[in-house]
Chain A
């Protein structure tokens, strides 16, 4: 089984999808000759040609809008938005058009468009390059939203997103692009369903739900807590729409305590939705309130202070301490 970086796993997933189905095509800014600003699409234009791996004009609404048209003609376009903070020129096309085409056509039309968005902070970058806008898309019915935390998932989520008949947004944790791991491109194993959460560490005292870039942070926090004699279960949510609440609820019923961590601001974020669902479905299992760990209600801060903004091991441990205090 080969070991590769998360970026390379996505690259392999895109290559295998292009090879498997001639209606698959990629479109985005700088994805062709350059191979993308993160080199995620490196080599694909050379292998599949400029008609299938398209260096598009610099226009995000155009990328998504033409992808919709291509999908109506029978293609499976994969659009790349270069950075999280640049998705907003395409927001109208994604929310009013892409998300609604299937329902407004009474199910007659499908728009199997995949949109790849590198997201999240922790790379010391400048304004608009470190954001986590996933809640805005999760809130929009008609879209599916998934995010890998490891190379194997990155490969299979890429493949599954492209094969899905619904529009899928894949948020790629850009600070984990260089994370290495084993990837089985023959057999998805537990990753066969991209919309299922995974328990990535078992425990009985508390549950930490995380996704994307914070999964390694949550695992490190759980390791640290174990040194204090607490066993913490870590759930990698993987899919943000739909959310696999059954796995989350089952974990909370076992542990009685829940921390939800994401880089996005806590206010109006996914943590609130998860907390509400858990309080509805597992109220009597809870030993403590659900505690959210996330960004503050402010624009993503400048790089020199992002370390204080981003949830880290200590922030998760502090939340665990509060939960254990009940």
Chain B
């Protein structure tokens, strides 16, 4: 904890790192960089590491559940993109291609954990039980949030890049203090919890990421930094953000970092579970770099044809997380045509439901929004709100009079 300066803690890490890195070394490599992968692009499962043992323990229903989550969030994403094209949303940031990174990491969390997303974590929202239609309020222009984060421990989307990451670290410091206070007063501490901070390769350049990692390391905060390296920050490739693999930066802060195949849902889930368990047990933060690809545009306002090659896009489509997992499930005999057809139906139903919800969203009133600027009464806001209501009421009176003539 904060009161004890961590003079020896850095020394503890190398053994553990060696242990983990040995496990990783048995795995596939991407270029020159070692990367945890359990299911390859052909759908073949690779045994032999602590992560593969962890994945092997999943039941058939759990495996099918992971596929179902990925498939229906993609269907939802298609619907949201269409809604934007039809003028029903102001903007939409598609998550297509990142389903394994999001579902795998989200399904690794436990209810008591807390999640700080960016604005693209639609898949993680699904795993936390957020009503997906609520995600669209922000993009419909009827709310700057949309859901109650305290119900699902899934925080509001944050649009200022990396700004949510120090919040995650602070929240984790709060979890530490809760545990210490419970211990001091002899109370039951409750289930150990941890925090997941999502961000991308672009945001990794922001100063808030650096400050967050410094704080997390210094205080050994129970936080997992989950960086989805989707290769592009709008039009800027990852190489402009970092000349080394992003997960290597963790070493500089004094905690473990590793790269996982972000298109392999089993690998992502296993690695994130390990990192969360480590964090919950008081061993401090981990940086996970989920190596994936943004198959679509940055947002519906973007045009990737201006900055990247169709051949590259094609190469990444062959690594598609959902197609790969379908191959795995079929090869292992976990799912058949009937199952996959039922998932398509479920996705269509979710899409239709979400569309219906979006079109029925009631816009807020400006006066209502004004009432939420401060938690306690604020005379300036109250004065302006009263003036605004009176002003608007003047138009209503005029309309009534005109109607009467």
Closest residue of chain A to B171 (Cβ to Cβ) is A69
Stretch at the interface among A46-54, A205-213, A225-233: A46-54
Is B233 in the interface zone, CB < 8 Å from A?
A: no
- B166 contacts A93, C-beta separation under 8 Å: yes
Interface 1/0s, chain B 132-150, versus A by CB < 8 A? 0000000000011100111
| Complex interface: chain B residues within 8 A of A73 (CB) | 114, 170-171, 174-175, 178
- A69 contacts B167, C-beta separation under 8 Å: yes
| Complex interface: chain B residues within 8 A of A51 (CB) | 1-3, 176-177, 180
Closest residue of chain A to B143 (Cβ to Cβ) is A106
A197 to chain B, nearest CB (A): 12
| Complex interface: chain A residues within 8 A of B373 (CB) | 102-103, 141-142
- B2 contacts A50, C-beta separation under 8 Å: yes
Is B309 in the interface zone, CB < 8 Å from A?
A: no
Interface 1/0s, chain B 142-180, versus A by CB < 8 A? 011100111000011010100101111111111111101
Closest residue of chain A to B155 (Cβ to Cβ) is A72
CB contacts under 8 Å to B, within A61-107, are 61-62, 64-75, 77, 89, 92-93, 96-97, 100, 102-107
| CB-contact partner of B214 in A55, A62, A77, A103, under 8 A | A62
- A107 contacts B1, C-beta separation under 8 Å: no
| CB-contact partner of B208 in A22, A61, A166, A245, under 8 A | A61
- Bound together, the chains give a CA A245 to CA B171 distance in angstroms of 38
- Bound together, the chains give a CA A89 to CA B210 distance in angstroms of 13
- A49 contacts B3, C-beta separation under 8 Å: yes
Is B369 in the interface zone, CB < 8 Å from A?
A: yes
- Bound together, the chains give a CA A61 to CA B175 distance in angstroms of 20
Q: A66-B166, A68-B167 are in contact. Are A104 and B144 (CB under 8 A)?
A: yes
- Bound together, the chains give a CA A25 to CA B114 distance in angstroms of 21
Q: A62-B211, A243-B380 are in contact. Are A96 and B166 (CB under 8 A)?
A: no
- Bound together, the chains give a CA A104 to CA B2 distance in angstroms of 31
10 pairs, A vs B, C-beta closer than 8 Å:
A49-B3, A50-B2, A64-B166, A65-B212, A69-B166, A102-B375, A104-B144, A104-B145, A107-B375, A141-B381
> How many CB-defined contacts (below 8 Å) exist between A and B?
152
Is A136 in the interface zone, CB < 8 Å from B?
A: no
In this complex, the member of A69, A93, A195 whose beta carbon has the largest number of chain B beta carbons within 10 angstroms is: A69
Interface 1/0s, chain B 1-24, versus A by CB < 8 A? 111100000000000000000000
- How many chain B residues touch A (CB < 8 A): the figure is 51
- A65 contacts B375, C-beta separation under 8 Å: no
- Bound together, the chains give a CA A50 to CA B6 distance in angstroms of 13
- Bound together, the chains give a CA A305 to CA B167 distance in angstroms of 42
Give residues in A with beta carbon < 8 Å to B.
Answer: 22, 25, 49-51, 54-57, 59, 61-62, 64-75, 77, 89, 92-93, 96-97, 100, 102-110, 141-142, 144, 164-166, 195, 241-245
Give residues in B with beta carbon < 8 Å to A.
Answer: 1-4, 114, 143-145, 148-150, 155-156, 158, 160, 163, 165-178, 180-181, 207-208, 210-212, 214-215, 218, 369, 371-376, 378-381
B267 to chain A, nearest CB (A): 29
| CB-contact partner of A62 in B156, B158, B215, B371, under 8 A | B215
Q: A51-B3, A51-B177, A65-B167 are in contact. Are A105 and B156 (CB under 8 A)?
A: yes
- Bound together, the chains give a CA A70 to CA B180 distance in angstroms of 14
- Bound together, the chains give a CA A299 to CA B375 distance in angstroms of 35
Closest residue of chain B to A96 (Cβ to Cβ) is B160
B95 to chain A, nearest CB (A): 21
- B144 contacts A89, C-beta separation under 8 Å: no
Closest residue of chain B to A54 (Cβ to Cβ) is B2
Q: A61-B207, A65-B208, A142-B374 are in contact. Are A106 and B145 (CB under 8 A)?
A: yes
- A105 contacts B149, C-beta separation under 8 Å: yes
Given contacts A108-B149, A109-B149, A245-B379, 6 further A-B contacts (CB under 8 A): A51-B177, A51-B180, A65-B208, A66-B215, A93-B208, A104-B145
| Complex interface: chain B residues within 8 A of A92 (CB) | 160, 163, 208
Closest residue of chain B to A77 (Cβ to Cβ) is B170
| Complex interface: chain B residues within 8 A of A242 (CB) | 378-380
B387 to chain A, nearest CB (A): 12
